Amino acid sequence: MLFNSLDFCKFLPIVFILYWFVTNKNLKAQNFLLLAASYFFYACWDIRFLFLLIFSTFLDYFTGIKMSESQTIKRKKFWFWLSITVNIGFLGVFKYYNFFAESFAEALSTIGLTVHPWTLNVILPVGISFYTFHGLSYVIDIYKDRIKAEKNIVDYSVFVSFFPLLVAGPIERATHLLPQIKKERTFDVKNIIDGCRQIAWGLFKKIIIADLCAQNADLIFNNAADHSGSTLIMGALFFTLQIYGDFSGYSDIALGTARLFGIELLKNFSFPYFSRDISEFWRRWHISLSNWFRDYLYIPLGGSKVSTLKKIRNTFIIFLVSGFWHGANWTFIIWGLLNALYIMPSIIFNTNRKNLDVIAAGKYLPSIKEIISVLITFSLTVFAWIFFRCKTVGEALYFIKKIFSSSFFTSPKIPETTINLLIPYFIFLLFFIEWIGREQEYALGNLDKRWPKYIRHLLYYFILFGVLFLNGRSSQFIYFQF
């Protein structure tokens, strides 16, 4: 069930009405409703994988209690490693087994040995990387004595499978979400209006920006040999806008939907394309994943409180694992290593926390220096996205090689359809609104205090019309495959 589907348009109001007007006086009933709705939402993808989600949930719930009850460190470690092994095992089998089997066969072929590996012909369970990381953080936090095990199975199950975040995050922490699940929520009209506004902005980014850019990005990437270098650059820019509109749009819809039920999820994007360096970019892009790797991998490795050589090592490990988390393909690994190289100067010279504030805070326009920094950071990001988008390393290298051919200096050729003629105006509107709202939680977060009523309503009607008119062109969210 896609957020931008007619089915979800029916599903959400029904759950909302039952939640606030039928079960609103009973917290247990509300949480049970959220759990039932979440399982139904997930079953709409493939009911077979619902049982995998339920098994993973019960495993971490049970091992969490067993760790809390353990009288010895040895017993606690046993339950901890049981949960970690099974969770990583499921993720490895479904997501990475074929990659390792095929890579091993290719390695043997280089020394003259021919092997035909046995591979799995299975569909990757949607959202498995996200809900697995929910469970892993919960189990690790109990093991480290940061939290106590949750005894209420319904509350814990809602934490793992709350439908707005289930299939593509943000990756929540038990310390943040569980207390909200266990606490009574009150009907707040202002919060609900704010949630609807954030959902609308997410739909704008997904349907009007991402899906329209995707059509051109797919056309260019899938037929790179037929296009000039300048057109390939346009393809890379289209994908850069597609993946941002797609994933940040999903996150806005997820956070806005959670607000409708009185729950605040972790912020996942903070205007990353306005970043002045790569370190800032990674503090603003997929924030929940970056923070997860920081807290559960980077800091345990020693973080930044070690020698420069070890900081370099830790940084490469983080980005290598991040690339591999996105998919079992060498293109993702190279994408991760590229970002590690980008960030390396700031690690070596200890300037990685230089830009912690919002760009041009309190000002209408940035300085010339800031503009140059943003353009450099954006250009590096666009280049790295080429590897992320291409299916193979060879395809990515060919794409890049052709960009820097003599055809770089020709005019790009994009089909002159009515929609393509409108896309530059849509993109301008995206960046304009995000720029003026960059100091808010999301772009439209403070719109009612900054813009006259008639302009706000004009924008809302434009978004509504655009979403309804263009939704037939929509596609699945990119991060569902991870």
Mind telling me the catalytic residues?
A: 326
- 411-423 in b/e form (b: 16+ CB < 10 A) is ebebeeeeeeeeb
Helix or strand (DSSP H, E) at 75: helix 73-91
DSSP 160-214: HH-TTTTTT-----HHHHHHHHHS-----HHHHHHHHHHHHHHHIIIIIIIHHHH
Angle, alpha carbons 225-230-234 (nearest 5°) = 95
Helix or strand (DSSP H, E) at 316: helix 308-326
Task: Extract the tokens encoding 141.
Answer: 């936090």
Task: Extract the tokens encoding 115.
Answer: 């092997």
Burial zone of 190 (CB within 10 Å; 0-12 exposed, 13-18 middle, 19+ buried): exposed
- The contacts of residue 297 (CB under 8 Å, 6+ apart) are 317, 318, 321
Among candidate residues 253, 260, 252, the one with its CA nearest the CA of residue 187: 260
Distance, first Cα to last Cα, the chain: 16
Provide the Cα torsion 235, 241, 242, 246; round to 10°.
170
**Are 252 and 205 a contacting pair, CB within 8 Å?**
yes
- The contacts of residue 172 (CB under 8 Å, 6+ apart) are 134, 159, 162, 165, 265, 266, 288
Helix, coil or strand: residue 1: coil
Q: Tell me, what amino acid is at 48?
A: R
